[in-house]
Amino acid sequence: MTTSADDDTDQVNARPSSAPGAASLAGPLTGLRVVELAGIGPSPLAALILAELGADVVRVDRASAPGALDWFPDGLRRSRPSIAVDLKSAAGPDVVRRLADQADVLIEGLRPGVTERLGLGPGDCLASNPRLVYARMTGWGQTGPWADRVGHDITYAAITGVLHLSGGSERPRPPANLLADFGGGTLYLLVGILAALHARETTGRGQVVDAAMVDGAASLATMIYGLFNGGAWRDVRGANLLDGGAPFYDTYPCADGRFVAVGALEPPFYAALLAGLGLQFAEAQEDVAAWPRHRAAIAETFASRNRDEWLEIFDGTDACVAPVLGLAEAPSHPHLVARGTFAELDGRPVPRVAPRFSDTPGRDPGPEPVIGADTTTYLLDHGFSQAEVDALLANGAVRQADAETQSE
C-alpha cells in the first residue's frame, strides 16, 4: 500500500494508539536507563521528557522530610517513579552508585562540587561505569568566576543579552522562566545527553555533559547576534523588526481588553492585515519613519471590536493574526485540540511531550508519585535483594512512603 505526503503527515501528528500490545507505545527511547538526582527547573523537565519518550527514568528524592521546593506544584515530577534516598547517610550514596552502574545516563542539577563531596561525582561514577553519560545542569556552568554563585533564570538570562531583548521599551522583563531555565537549560541538556549517547556508539565511552543555562541562553540568541553584528538589529529594546518595534509584528488590545498577536512580516501577509482592518497607508511597509503613525491607526482599529470578532474577520486569511490566549483558554483552542497538544491528568490539561514520532510515539503524561512511593519496588526490580532493602530502610538510608501518605 502506498501513502501520500498528507498520509505521512497524519501519521506523524497522530497521538499514541491505545490498542493493547501496540509495539510503538513504549516510545523512541525504550531501553534507555536514566538516574535523576532530584532538582528544580530544567533538570526535572529533561527527565520528564526522557521518561515520556520511553526511557526508564527514576527520580532520586531526599529521604528527609520534604522541603517546600520538594512539593512545589510545578508539574515536573510526573511520569516516573520516585525513590527516597538519604545521600548524607553512610549507605545512601552507594545506592545511587549501584543504580548508576546499571544506567546509561545520570542527571544532576546541584551546585558544582556537591556530588563530588557526596562521592557521586563524575570520577566516582565513571570509574565503575565508563559508558555512563554524566549530565550536569547548572546556571553558570561548572567553571568560570561565577560558577559557585547562586542565581535563577532571570540572572542567567541577564548576562547573556537575552533578557535585554525581552519586555517593553521601558525596561526588560522576563517571559516567566522560559528563557534560561527551559530554553537555555532543559533543551540544551537534552541535546547534550543525546549527543553524548550517539558519540558513545563510536567511542564506547561515556562522558561528562556540562550544560549551563548561560551557554544555552546565549546560543538561543544566535540569530539576533547575527542580525546585530550585521547592522540589522539595534541594541535598543522595542525598536526592531521582531521585538515589537514594527507595527505589523506586535500585540494589540481589543475592545474587550483581550489581545491579538500580529505577525504580518511578508508583503502579502501585510496586505491581508490591512485589508482585514480596512486600512490603507500611503507609505510602504518598510518605511520606519511612518511606523508610529501606522501603529496608532492599527491600534485604534483593533480597539474598535472585541477580540473574537477580529478572529472571525481574519479567519481563513493570510494576515497572521492569532488570539493571545491565557493558560485557561489555550488547551481548548481547536487547533491544539485537533493535534492533541494537551492531555488530561487528574482532570486538568497538561502539555504532552514533543516532538511527534511516526513509528514510536511517546507516552501520555503519567501521575506525579508521592516522594518515596516506589523505593522498595524499584530497588527490588533493579538488583537489590530483599535483605538489602530491609537493611537500608532500617538504617534510614532510604525511605518508603507509607500507604496513608500515598493515598493523600
SS3 label, residue 161? coil
Mean pLDDT across 137-145? 97
Confidence of residue 15 (pLDDT cuts 50, 70, 90): very low
C-alpha cell at 403: 500507604
Q: What is the pLDDT of residues 87-123, one digit of tens each?
A: 999 999 999 999 999 999 999 999 999 999 999 999 9
Instruction: Tell me the domain boundaries of the chain.
Output: 9-220+357-406, 249-324
Mean pLDDT across 157-169? 94
Mean pLDDT across 240-264? 97
pLDDT of residue 21: 35
Q: How far apart are CA 127 and CA 125, in angstroms?
A: 5
Q: Taking the CB of residue 47, how many other CB atoms lie within 10 A of it?
A: 31
pLDDT of residue 78: 95
- How do 133-138 and 208-212 pair as beta strands? parallel
Between residues 221 and 64, the one the model is more confident about: 221
Bond from prior residue into 355 cis (ω within 30 degrees of 0): yes
Q: How far apart are CA 380 and CA 368, in angstroms?
A: 21
Does the structure show a pLDDT above 50 at 2?
Answer: no
Q: What is the torsional sign of CA 92, 98, 101, 102?
A: negative
Q: What is the pLDDT of residues 308-342, one digit of tens each?
A: 999 999 999 999 999 999 999 999 999 999 999 99
Confidence of residue 3 (pLDDT cuts 50, 70, 90): very low
pLDDT of residue 65: 61
Q: Do domains 9-220+357-406 and 249-324 have the same CATH topology?
A: no
Catalytic residue among 181, 243, 250, 374: 181
Does the structure show a pLDDT above 50 at 4?
Answer: no
Instruction: Assign domain 9-220+357-406 to its CATH architecture.
Output: 3-Layer(aba) Sandwich (3.40)
Catalytic residue among 70, 152, 164, 333: 152
Residues shown for the chain: 408
Task: Give the domain 249-324 fold.
Answer: formyl-coa transferase, domain 3 (3.30.1540)
Q: How far apart are CA 318 and CA 356, in angstroms?
A: 26
Smallest CA-to-CA distance from 48 within 163, 187, 171, 153 is with 187
pLDDT of residue 1: 32
pLDDT of residue 67: 57
- How do 105-108 and 133-138 pair as beta strands? parallel
| In 131-254, alpha helices (H) | 153-158, 187-203, 213-220, 222-229
Confidence of residue 66 (pLDDT cuts 50, 70, 90): low
Q: How far apart are CA 62 and CA 372, in angstroms?
A: 8
Confidence of residue 18 (pLDDT cuts 50, 70, 90): very low
CB 362 within 8 A of CB 12: no
Residue type, 236: V
pLDDT of residue 16: 42
Q: How far apart are CA 280 and CA 270, in angstroms?
A: 11
For cell 551557554, the residue is 215
pLDDT of residue 233: 96
pLDDT of residue 402: 81
Among residues of the chain, what percentage have pLDDT more than 90? 88
pLDDT of residue 406: 56
pLDDT of residue 73: 75
pLDDT of residue 267: 97
333 included as an active-site residue = no
Name the E strands within 254-372: 259-263, 321-323, 342-345, 348-351
Return the bridge partners of 398, or none. Answer: 85
pLDDT of residue 405: 56
402 included as an active-site residue = no
Confidence of residue 23 (pLDDT cuts 50, 70, 90): very low
pLDDT of residue 20: 33
Round the average pLDDT of the chain to a whole number and report it: 91
Q: What is the pLDDT of residues 195-249, one digit of tens each?
A: 999 999 999 999 999 999 999 999 999 999 999 999 999 999 999 999 999 999 9
Q: What is the DSSP string of 287-320?
A: -GGGHHHHHHHHHHHHTTS-HHHHHHHHTTSSS-
